[in-house]
Amino acid sequence: MSKPDTTPSGWLETRLPIVSAFRREYVDFAMPRNLTYLWNFGAFATIALALLIVSGIFLALNYTPSVAEAFNSIEMIDRHVSSGWLVRAIHMGGVSMLFAALYVHMARSLYYGSYKAPRELLWLTGLGLFILVMIAAFAGYILPWGQMSYWGATVVINAMNAVPLIGPALASWLLGGEGLGSVALHRIYVLHFVTGFSIVGVIVLHVAALHVVGSNNPTGVEPKASDDVVPFHPYYTTKDGLGLCLFLMVYAALIFFVPDLLTLANNYAMANPLVTPGDITPEWYFAPFYAILRAVPSKLGGLILSAGSLAVLFAVPWLDRSRVKSARYRPMLRWAILGLFLTFIALGVAGMHKPTGLWLAISRVSVAYYYAYFLILLPLLPKIEVTRPLPASLRGESV
C-alpha cells in the first residue's frame, strides 16, 4: 500500500480497494488503440439499460398489475401523472434503442471474431444477457394490457404449450391456472422486474470477463507491444462519450418527434379476449424470430427452428474453425457474413408481414441460409479459404 493508513483514502484502500480498482479498470485499463465506433455499442446498451431501469422504477410507482386497472393506469401515467408521458416515452423508446444497440454489438462480435478464444465466456454471457433482455421485453410488452399485449402473449403461450413434456406445465406455472388473467398479469409483472434486475447482475459478469481478456479489435490480432494499446481514459472516455451523445440524439429524436413510429397503434385499445386483431405483429425487435416461427407449417417445428436460431449462437465459438479472427482478413467469410446480416434483416421485414406468398418464400430461404452459415460455412470455409496476411502490430492501424 502506497498510502499510509492515516489518510481517509489510505484507510479506505486498506479495507476496500475500490478507488484503486476503479483506476486500474477504468482509467489506466489498456485498450487496443485501433477500435472503431462499432466498439461503442456495448456502452450504448448499458446506458439504454440504465435509463430503462430508472424510468421503469418511476412507472412501477403508478402501475397497477390487474386486468381491470392495468390499461387505465397506463393511460393515467400517459395523461395525468406529472411528466408521466416523458417517463413512459423514455421506457418505450429505450427498449428499441437497447435492442438496436445489442444487434449492432452482436453483429460486430460476429464480424470481427470477438467470440473466439480467449473470449468464449464473454460471448456466452453476452448471449445470456440477450435472452434475458428478450424475456424482460416480452413480459414488459404485456403489462399495458392493450390488444397487442394480450394477443402477442397468447401467441407466445400457445407456442409454449406446443413444447413436448414441459410446455403445458411451464405455461400453467406462468399463468397460474385461470388463463391470461389478473394472476398471470401479476406474475408477468414480477417476471419483468426480476429479469430486469438480473440483467444488471449478468452485465457485471460480462464486463468482468471483458476486463480479464481485454477488448478484441478490428484486426483480431492481440496487442503485444506497449504502444499497441492506449489507456481507457482519456482515449476511450472521449470516444465513447462522443458516440454516446450521437446515440442519445437518435434516442431523443425517436421519443420526442416520432414516438408512434415504433409502437403499434392498436395497443392503445384495451385488451379484448373476444376480438382478435386482423394481424398479430410483434415489435420490430422480435420480428426475425417471429418470421422463423411461422416459416414452417408445423407449430413445434417453427418453435424448434426459432429457439434453435438462438441456441446455435451458443456453439459459435466452437463452430468457427478458422485461426484468423477478423473477417477483414477472410475474403470468403466476409461475403458470407454480409449475407447473414442481410438474411436476418429480411427475416425482420418478413416477420412484420403475413406469412404468405413472397414473404413466406423469403422467410424460408433466409432461415435456410441462417442455419447454413453457422452449421456449414463457419466450420467448413476455413478448409478452402485463403486468408490475407495479418498485420504484425496494431501500431500501423488507423486510429
Partner 1 sequence: MKRYLLVTLMALPLTAQASTPEQRGFQVYRQVCATCHSLNQVHFADLTGIGLAVPDIKAYAASHQVPDGVDDDGDPKTRAAHLTDPIGSPYPNEAMARLANHGDVPPDFSRLAMTEEGGAKRIETILRSYAPKPVDVVLGPGSYYNTAFAQNHIGMPPPLRDGQVAYADGTKATIPQMAQDVGAFLDWVAHPHRVARSDTGLVVLAYLAGMTVLLALLKRRVWKRLKESRQ
Task: Indicate the DSSP class of residue 230.
Answer: E
Active site residue 354: no
Task: Indicate the DSSP class of residue 32.
Answer: E
Active site residue 116: no
The smaller minimum CB distance to partner 1, of residues 218 and 302, is found at: 218
Q: How far apart are CA 359 and CA 165, in angstroms?
A: 32
Q: How far apart are CA 359 and CA 328, in angstroms?
A: 32
Spatial neighbors of 123 by CB under 8 A, at least 6 apart, are 109, 114, 115, 316, 317
Check residue 16 for interaction with partner 1 (CB under 8 A).
no
Active site residue 211: yes
Check residue 259 for interaction with partner 1 (CB under 8 A).
yes
Cell triple for 229: 494499446
Check residue 26 for interaction with partner 1 (CB under 8 A).
no
Active site residue 105: no
The smaller minimum CB distance to partner 1, of residues 204 and 252, is found at: 252
Q: Are 41 and 101 in contact (CB under 8 A)?
A: yes
DSSP string, 161-178: HTSTTHHHHHHHHHHTSS
Q: Are 390 and 224 in contact (CB under 8 A)?
A: no
The site string for partner 1 over 49-78 (x = CB under 8 A, - otherwise) reads -----------------------x--xx-x
Q: How far apart are CA 161 and CA 10, in angstroms?
A: 59
The smaller minimum CB distance to partner 1, of residues 168 and 234, is found at: 234
The smaller minimum CB distance to partner 1, of residues 5 and 28, is found at: 28
Check residue 241 for interaction with partner 1 (CB under 8 A).
yes
Q: Are 343 and 292 in contact (CB under 8 A)?
A: no
The site string for partner 1 over 84-103 (x = CB under 8 A, - otherwise) reads -xx--x--------------
* Stretch binding partner 1 (CB under 8 A), from 40-48, 234-242, 296-304, 312-320: 234-242
Q: Which member of 23, 24, 80, 354 binds partner 1 (CB under 8 A)?
A: 80
Q: How far apart are CA 77 and CA 62, in angstroms?
A: 7
Number of residues located near partner 1, criterion CB under 8 A: 35
Check residue 368 for interaction with partner 1 (CB under 8 A).
no
The smaller minimum CB distance to partner 1, of residues 12 and 38, is found at: 38
Active site residue 91: no
SS3 sequence, 243-254? HHHHHHHHHHHH
* Stretch binding partner 1 (CB under 8 A), from 199-207, 211-219, 231-239, 300-308: 231-239
Residue burial 99-137, b: 16+ Cβ < 10 Å; e: rest: bbbbbbbbbbbbbbbbbbeebbbbbbbbbbbbebbbbbb
Largest interatomic CA distance in the chain: 77
Is there a cis peptide before residue 234, judged by omega within 30 degrees of 0? yes
Give helix 147-161 / helix 299-314 axis angle, nearest 10°: 90
Check residue 395 for interaction with partner 1 (CB under 8 A).
yes
> Minimum CB separation from partner 1 for residue 78, in Å?
8
Task: Indicate the DSSP class of residue 223.
Answer: P
Cell triple for 352: 412484420
* Stretch binding partner 1 (CB under 8 A), from 40-48, 193-201, 228-236, 319-327: 228-236
> Minimum CB separation from partner 1 for residue 252, in Å?
5
The smaller minimum CB distance to partner 1, of residues 162 and 248, is found at: 248
The smaller minimum CB distance to partner 1, of residues 16 and 257, is found at: 257
> Minimum CB separation from partner 1 for residue 211, in Å?
22
Q: Are 243 and 38 in contact (CB under 8 A)?
A: no
What's the start-to-end Cα distance of the chain, in Å?
36
Check residue 31 for interaction with partner 1 (CB under 8 A).
no
Torsions phi, psi of 332, nearest 5? -80, -45
Check residue 79 for interaction with partner 1 (CB under 8 A).
yes
Catalytic residue among 3, 186, 211, 353: 211
Check residue 27 for interaction with partner 1 (CB under 8 A).
no
Check residue 242 for interaction with partner 1 (CB under 8 A).
yes
> Minimum CB separation from partner 1 for residue 254, in Å?
10
Measured in whole angstroms, the distance separating CA 27 from the mean position of its chain's CA atoms is: 27
- The residues annotated as belonging to the active site are 211, 215, 239-240, 283
- Please give the residue ranges that form the binding site for partner 1 (CB under 8 A): 33, 72, 75-76, 78-80, 85-86, 89, 227, 230, 234-235, 238-239, 241-242, 245-246, 248-249, 252-253, 255-257, 259-260, 265-266, 268-269, 395, 399
